[in-house]
Amino acid sequence: MGYCGSGISLATYYGTKVGMQMLGRSDGATALDSLAFQKRFYYRQSPWFMLAAFAYYRAKDRIS
């Protein structure tokens, strides 16, 4: 989740809300609870593309 420059305050806020949700408290609800994550056609269960991404960034780090 990106906080767009409001990281400390929003991370603290949402961390508190997630903790309340884990305890089953109703005051842990936020406006983001009902949002569905977008699905990608290339990603099902296993992150098969991560090995290629790791190799790419490892090579990029070595070149730098």
pLDDT digits (tens, 9 = 90+) for 30-47: 988 888 888 877 777 778
Give residue 46's pLDDT: 79
* pLDDT at 2 (0 to 100): 66
| Token pair belonging to 10 | 């929003």
Dihedral sign, CA of 49, 54, 59, 60? positive
Question: What does pLDDT average to over the chain?
Answer: 87
CA 24, distance to chain mean position in Å, is 21
> Which CA distances in Å does 33 have to 20, 21, 38, 46, 60?
13, 10, 14, 25, 37
